[in-house]
Chain A
């Protein structure tokens, strides 16, 4: 069943130029600068697409479609994903500005399963808190939601991930439920979380222990979530590209779950940026958890080329390419993140999720090494740092793998880096270069130029690397 939760204050910091909306002080300041909340409005736009779809499929579908359906009925393997008819357009949601209003405005029937703790929720939107989002998601799941649409930004995504996790349906390292709605960002411990580097989620305990049954096979039980973009920061790949696109995907979800299959889902990571740090001009995306997000495989009719491999297979391919490129007698300093975890799996060694592990001749010789220990390892023989592309920013160094410091890199030879990433990661940079920021302009300058990124077995891409801090500053 479809569910909606809205973070009423999401996005208020954007137009106000505050680089995010986390924290009560920012929200108050935004309000003072005249910011208007827009998340509810965006949720309405998304739901209108869903409403149009439900109306269309519950009215007579037309002779052609029913005929087609009859025709394929006797032919397995060609089954239509037709919208099932007769379903009531009911959407599970939270009270007032947290969803109910948007559901109603879109012409659908809200079923409220959660009320925010503050009494006057409808008029004082800013008074809802991150804890409300988390609790609402839990209530929606308990009420039978199979797809939770949420309107907000990265902070909201964290809270939703926390709610799914509490309901036993996702992973999160803790919600931002330490302040007002939209990720407090002030007191969440940042030190103990994995930095995203791959576009793929790291293997979570949830995925390892619960055999999910996604991908159109019968018996699917998990709950998926999808973001309606309404925040300022949206680094997490859990958002649709637009509210309408979110609506279209949700409509497809409803249609598919009414027939013989479900849309495929992918475990995607929830990233957020420490806004306080960002206001000081540092961008440090961190991983807060993962959630299953539906996506729609295209309906391409002209298959001149094969369909692209899945993200998962692409990461595995890149990891295999890296493993094949490794030589005996060299110490490989494996950085943190999903691609490196896949590489460790390919090598058959254990990986410290957040740390740098030193691998020599197929064995880990030092796990979770500190900068000091890395220096020691390098003194014992030839070594190379193995890194991937971090988040959508394109950082190779300086974001989350600080153990691979300027000092460490200075000790490596002329070709200090082995860069590993699926090709799509480079394409997703949209022409922007890869970045290095070790804190030492000379080291950065040496790394700038072109990197040979390993994208698969025997395949590499040559991609430009910039060192923003090494470039001559303007006079």
Chain B
């Protein structure tokens, strides 16, 4: 018997849940508890003594923390409700956050990191008891060395920008070791490279030179050559750039940098379209980094935990950040893994410990499941999906893909609504807000907006043709609304938990409040000292009550 199957509506009728849920601090009931801790038995207390006073004075609180007092069930409900007032990666067609590579993170990898053998581990554990996870870390380093073509890898950093920072710190250490630290004061980047490259270089004390694209939108080689000099420490570039355009002259860029004695650093956070197709080393780069939380399928998890991987040529290996995992073979041929502090030339620790273990295990598992052919297939499908999407989006009247006219893109595209904006006055930001009414994410661009009225889409390999079509149908619908019923777009969102928000408050340090305490202080004039005093009083009262 075949059941009738309802055809999927072309446009989803979505409405987000709305729970009108207070902030958790507002839910507190004094005395309510999630877990009732059994009183310490007299024998134990006598044997152990007063543990609290054994703690160093600096670690002891005078006043208990202002935590909400709640039962377990209420806490659970609170967070479930909040999760429903959200657009998670597992809920929406998450192709609107271009440059973020929002691919599917297979659940089996989450299951693997949920096993007690991992959850019960501690980074300070004796390596003898942690051989398995150290071996996984070491193996993943070797895999990423293979994927990038580089000689050595460190999994020490905890995010993409941290890894970029490590890149520039290694570059600085390298030139200093060669006595050229004073002479090489400049780093060159492009305006379509991720801004963390310019930011990290500047934080490391360099003067930053930004190259604008040529008329076609390609990184301008002539401009690079005009910028390079014996003062150049490095070029730091993303490729493909944010536009999804691959620099066809990348080898010449690297060679030109090398000719003046500069290093070449490759931001490979967006490697999803080139896995198994081209490698940083093949273009001559000295150093590169990956984001495990993009290309290698580990979740972004609200901005963390990310995981970076720095890969370098042998010449830069002594400068890699650490501690790192090492593999040793003893006289009897037995293999042993250990954690080694960073060496004398290393830039040292950028974060605590030797890596974000849950993400290392997930990435390892993902690569092992796909194999070399699988990685290549993932890249090819990501590129195919992107170019299918490119065709569909640029068919929408008012949308365009500036630059590299008529050429294909790699894994993402920075589009423009400029035409639609001129016609209707509806901005890309407004379109993004309206798109959330269809249950989908949307992102414009980094600042500055070089492409006017920008939006950046990256479909990855995870999305089916049907889902890409659904996303495009929603985009086309919003573009139609911008022309025919612009008020609907201008006053969006309509199907979201929260109606309009204005971010003026977020741009004003006097008004922004990103913690409950700051909110109470800025809007109710509560001083932390007064609150602490009140808390102390009420604790004393509760104590005397329970004593009574």
Contact = CB atoms under 8 A, between A and B. Distances in A.
Given A68-B498, A427-B449, A462 B429 contact: no
A60 interface: no
A450 B188 CA distance: 14
Contact of B503 (A245, A297, A426): A297
Nearest to A451: B226
A370 interface: no
B523 A76 contact: yes
Interface in A171-208: none
Interface residues on B, range: 35 or more
Given A81-B500, A240-B425, A304-B443, A458 B208 contact: yes
Given A68-B499, A462-B212, A216 B504 contact: yes
Contacts of A363: none
B223 A450 contact: yes
A125 interface: no
B392 to A, nearest CB: 22
A244 B484 CA distance: 12
Contact of B226 (A64, A431, A450): A450
Contact of A71 (B20, B213, B424, B441): B20
Nearest to A423: B448
B503 A77 contact: no
Interface stretch (A18-26, A48-56, A396-404): A48-56
Contacts of A297: 502-504, 507
Given A68-B499, A302-B97, A458-B208, A427 B450 contact: yes
Interface stretch (A135-143, A156-164, A305-313): A305-313
Interface residues of A, number: 54
Given A78-B501, A81-B502, A301-B432, A461 B427 contact: no
B490 interface: yes
Interface in B430-484: 430, 432-433, 436, 441-444, 446-450
B531 interface: no
Contact of B427 (A71, A76, A298): A298
A237 to B, nearest CB: 15
B209 interface: yes
A299 B433 contact: yes
Contacts of A71: 20
Contacts of A307: 447, 503, 506-507
B505 interface: yes
A248 B487 CA distance: 9
A299 B503 contact: yes
A325 to B, nearest CB: 9
A245 B452 CA distance: 15
A449 interface: yes
Count chain B CB atoms within 10 A of each CB in A78, A431, A460, A462 and give the residue with the most: A462
Contacts of A212: none
B72 interface: no
B143 interface: no
B429 A298 contact: yes
Contacts of B519: 77
Contacts of B498: 68
Contacts of B20: 71
Contacts of A251: 490
A393 interface: no
B210 A462 contact: yes
Nearest to A461: B210
B198 interface: yes
A299 B97 contact: no
Nearest to B216: A431
A251 to B, nearest CB: 8
B503 A248 contact: no
B88 interface: no
B13 to A, nearest CB: 16
Count chain A CB atoms within 10 A of each CB in B212, B429, B442, B498 and give the residue with the most: B212
B513 interface: yes
Interface in A449-470: 449-450, 452, 455, 458-464
A265 to B, nearest CB: 13
Contacts of A460: 207-210
Nearest to A300: B429
B423 interface: yes
Nearest to B23: A75
Given A68-B498, A424-B448, A459 B433 contact: no
A38 interface: no
Contacts of A221: none
B490 A248 contact: yes
Nearest to B202: A458
A213 to B, nearest CB: 15
Given A424-B448, A464-B220, 8 more contacts: A81-B502, A307-B447, A307-B507, A427-B450, A459-B202, A459-B208, A459-B210, A461-B191
**A-B pairs with lowest CB-CB distance, top 7:** A245-B425, A244-B425, A298-B429, A450-B226, A248-B425, A68-B499, A308-B447
8 contacts: A53-B490, A77-B505, A81-B502, A245-B424, A297-B507, A431-B213, A450-B227, A461-B211
